[in-house]
Amino acid sequence: MQAELINEARRQAEICNACRYCEGYCSVFPSLHAHRTFSDGDITQLANLCHNCRGCYYACQYTTPHEFNLNLPNALAEVRLDSWKALAWPRGFGALFDRSGMVIGAGLVVTFALLFALAQALRPESGAGFYAYMSHGLMVAIFTPAFLLPLAAIGVSLRHYWKMVGGGPLAISDVWAACKSAGRMKNLDGGHGDGCNFEDEDRFSQARRHFHQATLYGFLLCFAATSAGTIMHYLFGMEAPYGLFSLPKLLGVPGGILLCLGTAGLAWLKTKADRHLGAPEVWGGEMAFVLLLFAVSATGLALYAATGTAAVAWLLPIHLATVLTFFLLTPYSKMAHGFFRMAAVAKDAQELRLRGG
């Protein structure tokens, strides 16, 4: 990791530790104030615990033009981004999506869509629904490794992260506390319940919190729908397509709608927020990830709405291309933040438990 980024974040953390004005803003500050000195691992943990709500910046009396020149959200965002790249596995892929996220994402979607369209020439002689255009076996052969290999890469990265921040064996209570915090988006409430200042320094808002929740729960519902379909297919011999009142559809349709609303809202907020309070050099890559996730849900809903029509022939390749691109880029796009942040929140819960808090 880049020493200058760590050292600048450490300088600012030490000033914040002396001031303590922002003590109740989010989980970063109680964790920060529990230290007297900050190792590289401590700074990396604080960076991944930060949700970039920016309330501390707008409340701070030591921002520019003060000689201390504090911008803690930016300093932690730079360290956070650098930690994802440094810990990515294989390491050389860590910075690819940040530099040219829009181009890489769009290029992969177009390429994969063309390949899937051509693959329809190998369509089975019989099949219902989507399987009339592409065999189930072909989809499994493509998407199983495309899902498992990135997941393994994330696992390796998290193992390195846990070692770097000095994490020990987790108790069930630590995991449960982390899940509750993530589900409530606790660190986006500003510490006082009024929300954060992400898109407007003069106004507290719950918008970012609600859009994140819609994205999280929409994604989990879609994942649950896919899992339900897999179990129904392999364990109960119930093959797709499934009806509207089947479990995959009852989970997937609301999930897709929530995911569309959440990602569209987050993209809109990013256009309103001050880029220099995050990591401005990767703004395009972050936006590309949000738009890719929106495209996954939007094309999935469109494909379901087009069931039984000729539009399926061209919507299916587009949807499969967005899903495949999303899977392959997960360890190297903004999607990685969900895994690292969950680890950071679990580590914070562990520290709180060990301190007797």
Q: Name the nearest CA neighbour of 288 among 154, 153, 147, 108.
A: 108
- Model confidence, pTM: 0.91
Q: How confident is the model at residue 7 (pLDDT cuts 50, 70, 90)?
A: very high
Tell me the angle at which helices 283-305 and 247-272 cross, rounded to the nearest 10 degrees.
150
38-74: per-residue pLDDT in tens? Answer: 999 999 999 999 999 888 999 899 999 999 999 999 9
133-152: per-residue pLDDT in tens? Answer: 888 788 889 999 999 999 99
Q: Name the nearest CA neighbour of 270 among 198, 190, 188.
A: 198
> How far apart are alpha carbons 304 and 266 in whole angstroms?
24
**Please, which residues have CB within 8 angstroms of residue 201's CB and are 6 or more apart in sequence?**
54, 58, 274
Task: Say how many C-beta atoms besides its own lie within 10 A of residue 163's C-beta.
Answer: 11
76-95: per-residue pLDDT in tens? Answer: 999 999 999 999 988 777 67
Q: Name the nearest CA neighbour of 133 among 294, 295, 293, 320.
A: 320
CA 190 to chain centre: 20
Cα separation values, 32 from 3, 44, 222, 337, Å = 19, 11, 36, 20
Backbone torsion region of residue 168, taken as left when φ is above 0, otherwise alpha when ψ lies between -120 and 50, otherwise beta:
beta
Chain mean pLDDT for the chain: 91
The separation between the first and the last C-alpha atoms of the chain, rounded to the nearest angstrom, is 31
> Count H helices, E strands: the chain?
14, 0
Q: Name the nearest CA neighbour of 258 among 205, 321, 215.
A: 215
Contact 122, 142 (CB under 8 A): no
| % of the chain exceeding 90 in pLDDT | 67
pLDDT at 193 over 80: no
> How far apart are alpha carbons 277 and 123 in whole angstroms?
50
Give the DSSP per-residue string, 49-69. H-----HHHHH-SSSTTSTT-
